[in-house]
Structure 1
Amino acid sequence: MTNSVAASLAAALIAAAGIAFVFAGPQWPTARTAAVIGPAAAEESGAPIYYQDPDGKPSYSLVPRKTPDGRDFRAVPAGADISFDDDQAETPPSVTTAAGGSGERKIKYYRNPMGLPDTSPTPKKDSMGMDYIPVYEGDDSDDGSIKLSPGKIQRTGVKSERAAMRVVRTVVRAPGTIALDERRISVVAMRAESFILKVADVTTGSHVVKGQPLMEVYSPSVSSAAAEYLTTITSKTTSGDVQYGRGSRQRLMNLDVPDAAISAIEKSRTVPTSIGWTSPRDGILLERNAIEGMRVEPGGVLFRIADHSIVWALIDVAERDLGMIAKGQPVTVKARSFPGREFTGKVEVIYPEINKETRTARVRIELQNPDLILLHDMYVDADIDTGSGEAVLAVPESAVMDTGSRQAVFVDRGQGRLEPREVKLGQRGGGLVEVRQGLAEGDAVVVSANFLIDAESNLKAALKGFAEGAQQ
């Protein structure tokens, strides 16, 4: 700093020293001398105008003081070259005290260095001997914004990013289980009293195909219907008798006799002693109750067969996410038994009930299972894409400060001034959040160090209120 600037600064400091003497008392005779003899005489006599940390740290005092390790602060006389560290974007609080010369800022009041709600119109110290911190005009504003120096912005890591139109992918993740398609389950049951003569070499869990033999059965009712049908098709009758023959065939069908067995009767023109029962579909044998020689009552289930080439994923979605789920949304399902394997489907059904114990709703997804690796009751995890695919105004989630009832962001207005602004939010996903109200495209918002800025803005707002009250 040049000597002329130092001289003008010294004059201001000497004037401040006179004020400080009122609080310091006789502890600082050099300062009192400087205040009495005037700025020019103080500069000639070399009287100290303030004291600085001996290590050159940005710590200053108007009265002699010591460091925590017992060393004296260095006295700075009038006319000395004054230099500050590069990271001090603002003039030290004990040096610039009033709007005396050009380029200086006017101090409005001094605030407690520990952040307590205590202010002073003049320099003072707290109970621990710490200097109160000056608050300059322009550091606070009526719009609630806060101004940070470039050095403080760099030290706190403040970064900003512009609001832009982006596609927000909102994914609802929920667990579930695999279930069989109810429409693809068949049972083999007798519709008349029967006796099982032989059972094929199939067990529970065996895979069967449509038409594969399962057992041989003797049924008096089936044999009687077969003899009646054979009589009608072998005799030369009138057209009226032909209609009666069709009725006889229908009787066999009503007894659930397989088509292959009826065709064999028509071809051999004989009444069989037993009828072979076959599988009605491809699938897995879920249940086998047939035993050779057993007597079967009408309605008794002998085999249960399920086709699981197509299965259901029953997903339990939390009640709070239910409003985002709709039919037709794409879903990706991952089985815990097969890491890295994905199955795709769509939301087919949203069940109209809530589990009162878990507060979840059940959603059904239909999945192709060509490899037959998805098994009944297997655990799966589903990712339901609830996004619309349209670009919306969005900002990073880290930019939003959520108090529960209100959401706000800090808008970067340039030159270190940050303005808090309330926003209305929409969907979230992929680290982004939709802003429906409060921002325009291109507005720069702070995305890091938000809570540090929020803490400082709240402190300054409180101090401003106390200062206005003290002035009144």
Structure 2
Amino acid sequence: MSGALRFLMTALVAGGAAWGGLAAGERGVTLASLRDAAVAQVSALTGRGAAAMPAAEPTGPVIYWRHPDGLPEWSATERQTSDGRAFLPVRASEDLSLDPDAATAAPEAGERSILYYRNPMGLPDTSPVPKKDSMGMDYIPVYAGEDSDDGSVTVSPGKLQRTGVRTAEAVLAPLAATLRAPGIVVLDERRVSVISLRADAFIETVADVTTGSTIAEGAPLVTLYSPEIAQAIAQFVTDLRAEGRPIDGARQRLENLGVPDEVIDRIAAEGRASVSIPIMAPRGGVVLERMAVEGMMSEAGETLFRIADTSTVWVIAEVPEAALTDIVPGTEVRISFRGLAGDPMTGRIDTIYPEVDMMTRTGKLRIALPNPDGRLLANMFADVEIMLAGAPVVQVPEGAVIDTGDRQVVILDLGEGRFRPEPVTLGRRGDGMIEIVSGVAAGDRVVSAATFLIDAESNLNAALAALAAPEADQ
């Protein structure tokens, strides 16, 4: 055959293929009909019969049925035309597919032996022959090498790449866990003073202080007159003037009545009695309560003032009962206040209260914080973050754990595309990691991303069900 004739034949074949593609798009012709048309054209040009051309036998399952005349009519089930002719079956090898694995799927299935067919929804139901489930879905074949007694499954590298599967190594390290708890600011109970009298007295004057005022230590609060104190002062002065008479008893009586030492020393130096007795602030701080009123009669023990030193305050945090075992005094905490802007304050747990609330089942922690500028006010809300630390533990990313409701499972990477579900016991969580108490050892690789995609692709649901249910009859 000359070169010109070959060129002419090539052009005619290409034109026929183009015409066939157009007809396929307009009339719904299948790949088989296009191939038959091309064979017929080549046969006409070369003078050879169509029977001499080798034709591939359609393979694969029937995927749909087409109209016998090539009309754009298809059916998912067997049916007939209006004149009683049956639709023609179209097998997998006859249909066009954009899946790059479709061309290799049929020969690969032919090379491997099918062990059984599994339920497409992951139920523990298998069949030795092809079948459909109640929704009409075909059971999925399981080939030799894809199933094992330990519940492992094999996923092809192509599927792993398409699903974006990533793995991570289980590590042995301290878990950087953070426990968040609500807190409230309270006054340091060791820095609160109550001013009261030890004898009945009349309040003569009250200093210009009110609730919320800040006073210094030793500042005058009230002056008073008490008949009992006046009598004790007169006895003290008499003993001073009498030569050779001891004064220790009279001085002790004044101290027992609450007369300040400065007032007693002044009376001893002047040698004369004083009717009005001043009462000074025993500490500096903020006046929390003022009950003293000029001219009032105050009985012994009645509160006149309450003063608190707010240079140091406490934060009381409440944590769940189950978390108390992981907390020890001295644990570092970070505290932020809803009413204050700025960076959180840091401190350490000072005391763990030795009781659990019966209603809330929480325990209380106490953190002492410096408050030199007085910004922290009593009863302010606080958010407390407790930095839990401990011995190294086996931990994996939180995304590696599948929670099935009644148990937790991770997917172990066995290498070479093999995976196995492994039940685990979980511990604490923190900073995106979770402690594995049992089930996984340090150094094991687990699937950390696309775990549920692997579950769908590889039917790990069936493997998970097999862990708790008897193996189905095959």
TM range (shorter): 0.7 to 0.9
Name the CA distance, whole Å, in 2 between partners of 1:385 and 1:127: 53
Tell me which residue corresponds to 2:41.
Answer: none
Corresponding residue to 2:156 among 144, 149, 153: 149
Amino acid at match of 1:65: W
Contact 2:122 2:460 in 1 (8 A): no
Tell me which residue corresponds to 2:473.
Answer: 469
CA gap 1:89/1:140 in 2 versus in 1, 3 angstroms: farther
Q: How far off is 1:417 after superposition? A: 0.7
Check if 1:217 corresponds to 2:219: no
Cα offsets for 1:29-63 (capped at 9, x unmatched): x9xxxxxxxxxxx9965445226xxxxxxxx6347
Name the CA distance, whole Å, in 1 between partners of 2:126 and 2:436: 39
Query: Any idea what SS the aligned residue of 1:50 has?
Result: coil
Query: Any idea what SS the aligned residue of 1:376 has?
Result: coil
What is the TM-score when the length of structure 1 is the normalising length?
0.75
Name the CA distance, whole Å, in 1 between partners of 2:55 and 2:131: 22
Tell me which residue corresponds to 2:461.
Answer: 458
Name the CA distance, whole Å, in 1 between partners of 2:153 and 2:291: 80
CA gap 1:113/1:175 in 2 versus in 1, 3 angstroms: closer
Q: How far off is 1:405 after superposition? A: 5.3
Amino acid at match of 2:333: V
Amino acid at match of 1:415: E
Q: How far off is 1:444 after superposition? A: 1.1
Name the CA distance, whole Å, in 1 between partners of 2:188 and 2:380: 14
Name the CA distance, whole Å, in 2 between partners of 1:90 and 1:263: 111
Q: How far off is 1:331 after superposition? A: 2.2
Q: How far off is 1:431 after superposition? A: 1.4
Matched length = 406
Cα offsets for 1:405-438 (capped at 9, x unmatched): 5433211121111122233443321111223433
Task: After superposing the two structures, state which structure 1 stretch, 451-460 or 126-135, moved more.
Answer: 126-135
Corresponding residue to 1:159 among 157, 166, 172: 166
Amino acid at match of 1:469: D
Name the CA distance, whole Å, in 2 between partners of 1:75 and 1:89: 13
CA gap 1:282/1:66 in 2 versus in 1, 3 angstroms: farther
Corresponding residue to 2:204 among 189, 193, 197: 197
Contact 1:109 1:467 in 2 (8 A): no
Cα offsets for 1:134-154 (capped at 9, x unmatched): 321111111111211112212
In structure 1, stretches of 5+ residues that fail to align are 1-29, 31-41, 52-59, 99-103
Q: How far off is 1:202 after superposition? A: 0.3
In structure 2, stretches of 5+ residues that fail to align are 1-32, 34-49, 75-87
CA gap 1:90/1:468 in 2 versus in 1, 3 angstroms: farther
Name the CA distance, whole Å, in 1 between partners of 2:324 and 2:286: 34
CA gap 1:378/1:187 in 2 versus in 1, 3 angstroms: same
Query: Any idea what SS the aligned residue of 2:232 has?
Result: helix
What is the TM-score when the length of structure 2 is the normalising length?
0.75
CA gap 1:270/1:280 in 2 versus in 1, 3 angstroms: same
Name the CA distance, whole Å, in 1 between partners of 2:239 and 2:142: 113
Q: How far off is 1:335 after superposition? A: 1.5
Q: How far off is 1:294 after superposition? A: 1.2
Tell me which residue corresponds to 1:342.
Answer: 344
Name the CA distance, whole Å, in 1 between partners of 2:356 and 2:305: 34
Cα offsets for 1:293-312 (capped at 9, x unmatched): 11111111111111121222
* 1:92-111 mapped onto 2 (5 Å cutoff): 92=105, 94-98=106-110, 104-111=111-118
Name the CA distance, whole Å, in 2 between partners of 1:380 and 1:416: 50
Amino acid at match of 1:265: I
Tell me which residue corresponds to 2:303.
Answer: 301
Name the CA distance, whole Å, in 1 between partners of 2:415 and 2:300: 86
Tell me which residue corresponds to 2:61.
Answer: 61
Corresponding residue to 2:325 among 299, 323, 332: 323
Name the CA distance, whole Å, in 2 between partners of 1:469 and 1:374: 70
Contact 1:119 1:467 in 2 (8 A): no
Q: How far off is 1:226 after superposition? A: 2.1
Contact 2:63 2:91 in 1 (8 A): no
Name the CA distance, whole Å, in 2 between partners of 1:463 and 1:287: 71
Q: RMSD over aligned Cα, in angstroms? A: 3.5
Tell me which residue corresponds to 2:443.
Answer: 442
Task: After superposing the two structures, state which structure 1 stretch, 278-287 or 375-384, moved more.
Answer: 375-384
